[in-house]
Structure 1
């Protein structure tokens, strides 16, 4: 379902692209910066969005850098999150009666279901990890994850960003859901991904680093062949 108003479009764009400036939003939504700022002011007053320290150009001159915005904690709760309470009760019951291993097995099963649902679409994108990540982002966006892809050229990779998570509040109590999801991403993309931050752990967006050179063969045998590259952490350590 498409957003029904310009303000909802602005909020959805902040969720997907944040941290993002009014000018960037205006370009993406084909609106004037002034019109976008009016909606941002209302959303900020309602507590749906909040300012984020952001200086992508390494601003060192006079004046204040452009303001950038992300969804606030309250903003995330205004997005659709069905049956959070029931899901928590079910997983709590499972943990109490069957133990932590049962929760782990459920998380892995859920992740396998996600991977199976999108495997054909991701495989159709070809062997390049970047193309596969783009296909996965498209699929996750349709699932309600507000997913986007961002280039990280200095680290030879891309970031898969999820501005919204339908199970965010459940994953705050059961982070194993996030861990299993990351494993599913590795299987789908054919590379070892690295989770940098998550919404349940307090991040403003779930961010997963996807190297564009390290390729592994998924267990189903459908992935690309082996190569090597560096993670962001390895790149930083080598440059010291």
Structure 2
């Protein structure tokens, strides 16, 4: 299992994290982002390829040589933590059997309240929406989501989560995904609209959320 992103010790780990975030990339791009030589990156990629952790595809690019794009191999997914996956899935099944869907829904609502309360303390300390979202991404990354914020034009934002540490649980009970969206909307308040754009459970390589100002109905 890989270390957390902030504590990466090897160039190989760093490359795997970059590919997890980017989806696919050339060796030159990886070298630039990591601050090491292209030759060093290529050597690491060859080792990772031999270990069945990365794959590549060569794509035509004009009249020159094809571009070699690297990506994570299927087997690399197990290197990124899925927090207590089987135990969580088993517990969800037990709760369903013992308490039914209504009981499971109550527990999910309690989880939503607890997470919202925890995030709100940090969220409230930040002076503007950009810093609030950066703080949210930091908190999510600390939990294993590999989160970051991207700007969309002058006012919009994209919250990106390149990994889901509770993917097994979310697959067993998609209520986990629903409460996350509700948590984010509650934190942002009525002045902002949040929509899920990408969803790991529907086949996307990441989860992402588009955040834009909510028009004031009174001004329309």
TM-score clears 0.5: yes
Q: Against the structure 1 CA distance between its residues 157 and 92, is the aligned structure 2 distance closer, same or farther, given a 3 Å change threshold?
A: same
SS at match of 1:132: helix
SS at match of 1:112: helix
Aligned-partner Cα distance in 2 for 1:193–1:65: 39
Q: Against the structure 1 CA distance between its residues 120 and 49, is the aligned structure 2 distance closer, same or farther, given a 3 Å change threshold?
A: farther
SS at match of 1:196: strand
SS at match of 2:141: helix
Q: Against the structure 1 CA distance between its residues 201 and 102, is the aligned structure 2 distance closer, same or farther, given a 3 Å change threshold?
A: farther
The answer on whether the counterparts of 1:16 and 1:163 sit within 8 Å (CA) in structure 2 is yes
Aligned-partner Cα distance in 1 for 2:197–2:55: 21
Q: Could you tell me how far 1:207 is from its partner in structure 2?
A: 1.3
Aligned-partner Cα distance in 1 for 2:181–2:70: 26
Match of 1:220 in 2: none
Deviation string 1:111-160 (CA, Å, 9 cap, x unpaired) is 332222222222222232x3322221111111111112223339x52221
The answer on whether the counterparts of 2:61 and 2:67 sit within 8 Å (CA) in structure 1 is no
Aligned-partner Cα distance in 2 for 1:61–1:49: 25
Deviation string 1:12-35 (CA, Å, 9 cap, x unpaired) is 222234344433332222112332
Match of 2:199 in 1: 198
SS at match of 1:99: helix
Aligned-partner Cα distance in 2 for 1:174–1:52: 35
Q: Which has the higher strand share?
A: 2
SS at match of 2:201: coil
Deviation string 1:14-57 (CA, Å, 9 cap, x unpaired) is 22343444333322221123322332343344343445899xxx
Match of 2:158 in 1: 159
TM-score normalised to the size of structure 2? 0.80
Q: Could you tell me how far 1:167 is from its partner in structure 2?
A: 0.5
The answer on whether the counterparts of 1:26 and 1:33 sit within 8 Å (CA) in structure 2 is yes
TM-score normalised to the size of structure 1? 0.74
SS at match of 1:148: strand
Aligned-partner Cα distance in 2 for 1:66–1:158: 31
Q: Which has the larger radius of gyration?
A: 2
Unaligned regions of 5+ residues in structure 2, if any? Answer: none
What count of residue pairs does the alignment treat as equivalent? Answer: 211
Q: CA RMSD in A?
A: 3.0
Unaligned regions of 5+ residues in structure 1, if any? Answer: 216-225, 229-240
Q: Could you tell me how far 1:194 is from its partner in structure 2?
A: 1.0
Q: Against the structure 1 CA distance between its residues 45 and 200, is the aligned structure 2 distance closer, same or farther, given a 3 Å change threshold?
A: farther
Match of 1:150 in 2: 150
Q: Against the structure 1 CA distance between its residues 150 and 31, is the aligned structure 2 distance closer, same or farther, given a 3 Å change threshold?
A: same
SS at match of 2:210: strand
Deviation string 1:190-214 (CA, Å, 9 cap, x unpaired) is 3331112222332111111122x22
Match of 1:236 in 2: none
Aligned-partner Cα distance in 2 for 1:90–1:46: 34
Matched, 1:133 2:133: yes
Q: Against the structure 1 CA distance between its residues 164 and 61, is the aligned structure 2 distance closer, same or farther, given a 3 Å change threshold?
A: same
Q: Against the structure 1 CA distance between its residues 49 and 111, is the aligned structure 2 distance closer, same or farther, given a 3 Å change threshold?
A: farther
